[in-house]
A and B are shown apart, each in its own frame.
Chain A
Amino acid sequence: MSTIDTHAGHSSHGGHHGSYLTSKGSLWADVANWATTVDHKKIGVMYLVALLTLFFFGGVMALAVRVELLEPTRTVEVAGEMVTTGQRLGVLAPDGVSPNNIYNRAMTLHGAIMTFMFIVPGIPASLGNFFLPLMIGAKDVAFPRLNLASWYVYVFGSLFALASAIVGGIDTGWTLYTPYSTMTDADHWRVVAMTTGVFIMGFASIMTGLNFVVTVHKLRAPGMGWFDMPLFVWAIYATAIIQVLATPVVGITVLMLIFERLFNFGLFDPRIGGDPVLFQHFFWFYSHPVVYIMILPAFGIISETITCHARKKIFGYKAVAFASLGIAAVSFLVWAHHMFTSQGELTAAIFSFLTFLVAVPTAIKVFNWISTLYKGSIVFNTTMHYTLGFLFLFTIGGLTGLPLATLSTDMHLHDSYYVVAHFHYVMFGGTVIAMLAGMHHWWPKMFGKMYNEPAAKLGFWLVFLGFNLTFFIQFIMGAHGMPRRYASYPDEFQTMHIISTFGSWMLLAGFLVHLFTFIHSLIQGKPATANPWGGMTLEWLAESPPDEHNFAKEPIVKHGPYDYDTVVPPNYDPADYPLPEKPYTH
């Protein structure tokens, strides 16, 4: 009893041009078409390419950092002379530059690229751009030209930031804390270039967020009420709200920082009476909500993949949806937990309490996802591997956050490798793993090709094991007393650092396998059907890859997004998914 109106056939639609990937004839025509397109799908793909390129740069920096840390860099006495061994990145240092400085630049670039340029725009701008309109049955986002502009602004901002990297990079740490960031490299424009890049990219983020909020409000398909929206849409909606409300503050913050560097403005400069902690407040007012900009879309993806590949209605739809909004709301109230060791005690106590508040909706989500598996029909393809991997890693990431929210234990763990491990478990184990889940889930839809499942599963295991190898040990390291951002370190940590570095190489191998499967799929993959997994959400109504205008006929929603137990998925052979004999009723 498929109740969604399926395709009315190509003939009924006059201006049908075939899939959005169809070539326009010549290469130049294609380039011109893609460069000027306002199609959300093409912009999504363009974002994906740009993001993955920057992910590559950030990854190279991460590997460099790990290689540096293979040895503790000890100064030893050889024949009466003090000689430093093991400064691996130090060999790159020009004369007069401290070898540690090279490490500091690599570490900063890794952080800045990964946060500002990869993971903040990450899922919303790529997968969100592609699938948000499809999932609500719209032809496009609300403001298509703004969408294209956001891509250009993003690329322009990234180029600004990368320009600073090419001429030497900055060594402020991605957090750009004053007064160090106002004093370092005093005679050079690198820091200004990087901060200007961040400022520009803020606009891209605002444009995307604004676009998505309006799209969700105004372009839902006929019949799609708020509680008929897929949870990915809810998550992107919550994310977009944060993007709109938080990003301007980082805009003014980096603007002040730029003024600070150009004219010594004084607001954050203790030499003129400014308050460096004020900068931290400004910075984290944006940069904490940004953590949820990173993780909320991941929650959305997991809600989609876990239901689709377990063929199960999500457990507690409203709880999951409201948890997204709850997290978005509370995310604005917890920023100062990054500053327990620097601010007043009363503020620390208040923010500690509020931080625990944000843990509640997150816990609810995890409980709901695991309950969704109950009595499902679970298939172990790559997407499900990544989904279960996400649950494993994100649960660790979330639980290890508790000692950081607790005041007494955070006094020890703050700014140590424990924190590094924690946010990698959340950002990588959460967001990146979920993004990989989403990419495998939607790859057939995006490019119309299937990928090699065994190879992709191999990639998963390499990524999963490599990730745990790299980062779990860092929890222990941090609690033992290893501070962050150390180019050289006490000997006792060397074994743990070596394990961690080996893990990073395994991680690299995993990504190379994925790169291979994706490229292989594009060239030689089997054509995908419109709905290879039997999904219920609207994007599976479209062709694979979707048409230029998404749907041949505007879809009308007549059932919920996860009614796997009462409805046969669209575009799918009912023989494969028979309905249960006794549908569940109240």
Chain B
Amino acid sequence: MSDHKHEHDAKRPDPATMTEAEYRDYMADPHAFHPEHHGAGEHAHDGEGHHVTSLFQLRAVLGILIFFTVLTVASSRAEIWVADTFDLYIPTLVNVLIAMSIATIKAVFVVAIFMHLKWDNRLNLLVLLFTLMGVGLFIGLTAMDLGNRKEFYDWKGDQIVAGGTGGSAGFVALTRSARGKDEPEVIPTSLVEHARNRAIQKYGEAVFAEKLAQKHGHHDPMPARTPNRSRATEGLTADLFDTTVPAGGDH
């Protein structure tokens, strides 16, 4: 680098004498700058060299975005319909992948056209890519830790239990808006159970059961399509291969 710089010093252009367009080029890369290579018209015009997106383009993008929104909603409804009609359960992973791919396509259109990144300075694209890399590392490595806590002892990982394995409900003194009250309400059980108990107390068992049926009666019990915690799910779910007993949930 600068070891041999002084040999070139004489040839270095003087920015003080440049036109504005030349100067812009020069600042972009002073070492590569050669005024004779600078053609008029490469850069811009009447002072503002920024891309003007045509209205047609914007409207087209809006149309595409709406189309993909409809598509993603449709795919999610279709999945439920397929499950109800054909007892065919698509694995969650596939759904996630489809929905996220569609969202990514939408995002690319927004970023490229609406946010002008297609015509923008490459540096801004670089900023975005580095950011996405950071996001990926953050989520990826954190999630990886969660999945790999039991290398030495089988029972070490995957044991996250509300209330803690050590104490469960007994010691939990969760308080509902405890602050500022003399006698905070202590919730001795899990939050869900506590809410249910209160409702049963309020309505009585029979009415509660009726209300519960009202809430959940209109749909089939949710199939337990869990990427289950004792073994990883492989391939499509049960009912594709074995139609004897539908794997219904307990609720």
Contacts and interface: CB of A to CB of B under 8 A. Distances in A.
Q: Do chains A and B touch in the complex (CB under 8 A)?
A: yes
Interface string A241-281: 00001000100000000000000100000111101011001
A273 B162 contact: yes
B149 A344 contact: yes
A297 to B, nearest CB: 20
B145 A281 contact: yes
Nearest to B166: A270
A18 interface: no
Nearest to B162: A273
Given A222-B27, A275-B160, A563 B6 contact: yes
A2 interface: no
A186 B9 CA distance: 68
A336 B164 contact: no
A582 interface: no
29 contacts: A3-B9, A187-B179, A217-B123, A220-B27, A222-B23, A225-B31, A245-B131, A249-B138, A271-B162, A273-B160, A277-B145, A285-B138, A285-B142, A313-B2, A343-B149, A344-B145, A344-B148, A344-B157, A345-B148, A345-B152, A346-B144, A347-B144, A350-B141, A350-B144, A556-B16, A560-B1, A560-B2, A584-B3, A585-B4
A566 B123 CA distance: 35
A218 B27 CA distance: 8
Given A344-B157, A346-B148, A271 B172 contact: yes
B8 to A, nearest CB: 10
B227 interface: no
Contact of A560 (B5, B138, B162): B5
A227 interface: yes
A558 interface: yes
Contacts of B174: 264, 271-272
Contacts of B138: 249, 285
A481 interface: no
B42 interface: no
Contact of A225 (B29, B149, B160): B29
A344 B161 contact: no
A407 B130 CA distance: 30
B34 interface: no
A186 B2 contact: no
Contacts, number: 115
- The interface centre, meaning the residue of B3, B15, B145 with most chain A CB atoms within 10 A of its CB, is B145
Contacts of A415: none
B160 to A, nearest CB: 6
Interface in B170-191: 172, 174-175, 178-180, 191
Contacts of A585: 4
Nearest to A554: B16
B242 interface: no
Given A220-B27, A225-B31, A275 B4 contact: no
B146 A275 contact: yes
Q: Which of B4, B138, B175 has the most CB of A within 10 A?
A: B138
Given A222-B26, A556-B16, 11 more contacts: A187-B178, A187-B179, A222-B15, A223-B12, A227-B1, A271-B172, A273-B160, A336-B141, A563-B6, A566-B6, A584-B3
B136 to A, nearest CB: 11
Give the interface centre of B2, B146, B150, B161 by most chain A CB atoms within 10 Å: B2
Given A271-B163, A344-B151, A223 B15 contact: yes
Interface of A: 3, 186-187, 217-218, 220, 222-225, 227-228, 245, 249, 264, 270-273, 275, 277-278, 281-282, 285, 313, 317-318, 332-333, 336, 343-347, 350, 556, 558-560, 562-563, 566-567, 584-586
A345 B151 CA distance: 6
A227 B15 CA distance: 18
A313 B130 CA distance: 33
Contacts of B137: 332-333
B134 interface: yes
Nearest to B161: A273
In this complex, the member of B150, B164, B180 whose beta carbon has the largest number of chain A beta carbons within 10 angstroms is B164
A264 B147 CA distance: 25
A217 B127 CA distance: 13
B148 to A, nearest CB: 4
B98 to A, nearest CB: 27
Contacts of B5: 559-560, 563
B14 interface: yes
B63 interface: no
Nearest to B145: A347
Contact of B6 (A278, A344, A559): A559
Contact of B145 (A343, A556, A560): A343
A181 to B, nearest CB: 16
Given A222-B26, A271-B164, A272-B162, A336 B2 contact: no
A292 to B, nearest CB: 14
A347 B148 contact: yes
Contacts of A332: 134, 137
A558 B142 contact: no
B30 interface: yes
Nearest to A351: B141
Q: Which of B4, B5, B150 has the most CB of A within 10 A?
A: B5
B198 to A, nearest CB: 17
Contacts of B148: 344-347
B14 A556 contact: yes
Contacts of B134: 245, 332
Contacts of B175: 186, 264
